Amino acid sequence: MPSITYGGQSYLCRAQESVLDCMTAHGVTIPSSCHSGLCQTCLMQAVRGSVPAAAQAGLKDTLAAQNYFLACSCYPEADIEVALPSTGAGKLSATVTAIRPLNADIVCLQLQTDAKLKYRAGQFINLYKDAFTARSYSLASVPGIDENLQLHIRKVPDGLVSQWIHQTLNVGDSIDISEATGDCFYTGDNPEQNLLLIGTGSGLAPLYGIIRDALAQGHRGTIRLYHGSETVELLYLAEELRSLSQQHRNFVYTPCISGNLVPSGYAPGMVADVALRENPDLSGWRVFLCGHPAMVESARKLAFFAGASMRDIYADPFKSAPQNNAAGSTPAATRNMTIDADLTLGAQASHAVA
């Protein structure tokens, strides 16, 4: 049984137990969120001994080279000594510059960072309520277009971080965020390729960034956005998207309503069904899927069957984090909990939000 040394104490790590599980079982709080090896909230560093390669999957080479690893996917094979990333590493300080309602449930949180954040539109950051409570949110802003960072934050019932943002956070407040990560973004290497983007709820955030980024980079292929919700009131940015489609002939916006009341101008039905029905041949297309995990998973298969290559399908299922227990939850709780309809995030990234 390997031992894990942390903060001067040693803990025995049982079989099938990750570093994160072990710490949690001993009452030690390590920041965590998705428990799936994706969001990188539980980043730690091995200061003695080494970790299995699987614990470094998806990390930047530079981090892996410094023995950083993900506590949730690290099953130690030998004794190790670990530490949280040195204070400040990978974190940036930001100031709230605006909190603007987008609809009854979602606000746009605008942030200005002290140091410039390097990111691609569509990537996500972790936002820290405090040292131990973080959630991932997708960036809706575009570097070079938007001066400030923008996040679309949906009020999740009992969501520790989202409720705090909606109710307590004020303009002028200072908060910590992580560096940006995630591979759901526009690359500009194939400007003629057709793009299909499907989102539910606040899954619009990364798509809104990706679309504006693609248009700004002079994308010439068709760009089709399908944004779905149950009611008209739950959609948002509809005016901005309509006006964007008037400015760009290759951008088509189709709002979809899954509920019973469907006014003209809206497509009736589940968003992925509408999108796939209207675009039955996706050979050569690039596809972006963001929002409700069930929608993302079913649309991923449908898009693949419709001819899109697996390499061209980018997905960001927004999983919600375990409620009322940001750091001390078990992985099982994260995976099995009831998924809320439109959380802000995860790939290929699966990020927990709440």
Partner 1 sequence: MSSLYEKIGGDGAVNAAVDIFYRKVLKDDRIKHFFDGVDMDKQAAKQKAFLTMAFGGPHNYTGEDMRKGHAHLVKNGLNDSHFNAVMENLGATLKELNVPADLIAQAAAIAESTRNDVLGK
**Binding flag, residue 219, partner 1 (CB under 8 A):** no
**Binding flag, residue 53, partner 1 (CB under 8 A):** no
Selected from 220, 301, 325, 332, the binder of partner 1 by CB under 8 A is 301
Binding mask 246-285 for partner 1 (x = CB under 8 A): ----------------------------------------
**Binding flag, residue 77, partner 1 (CB under 8 A):** no
Selected from 280, 281, 310, 338, the binder of partner 1 by CB under 8 A is 310
Tell which positions 315-344 bind partner 1, by CB under 8 A. Answer: 315
**Binding flag, residue 164, partner 1 (CB under 8 A):** no
Specify the residue, 49 or 307, whose C-beta has the smaller distance to partner 1: 307
**Binding flag, residue 348, partner 1 (CB under 8 A):** yes
Specify the residue, 237 or 306, whose C-beta has the smaller distance to partner 1: 306
**Binding flag, residue 132, partner 1 (CB under 8 A):** no
Angle, CA of 102, 103 and 105, to the nearest 5°: 110
Strands of the sheet with 267-268, listed across from one edge: 267-268, 251-257, 223-229, 195-200, 286-291, 313-320, 351-353
Distance in angstroms (rounded) separating the CA atoms of residues 31 and 326: 8
Residues whose CB falls within 8 Å of the CB of residue 137, separated by 6 or more in sequence, listed in order: 109, 124, 125, 126, 127, 151, 152, 153, 205, 344, 345, 351, 353
**Binding flag, residue 305, partner 1 (CB under 8 A):** yes
Other Cβ atoms within 10 Å of 204 Cβ, number: 30
**Binding flag, residue 35, partner 1 (CB under 8 A):** no
Distance in angstroms (rounded) separating the CA atoms of residues 112 and 94: 5
**Binding flag, residue 309, partner 1 (CB under 8 A):** yes
Which has the closest alpha carbon to 153: 174, 178, 136, 129? 136
**Contact window for partner 1 (CB under 8 A) among 141-149, 185-193, 234-242, 297-305:** 297-305
Distance in angstroms (rounded) separating the CA atoms of residues 335 and 319: 9
Strand partners of residue 251 = 223
Distance in angstroms (rounded) separating the CA atoms of residues 303 and 312: 10
Specify the residue, 151 or 347, whose C-beta has the smaller distance to partner 1: 347
Enumerate binding residues for partner 1 (CB under 8 A): 297, 300-301, 304-305, 309-311, 315, 347-348
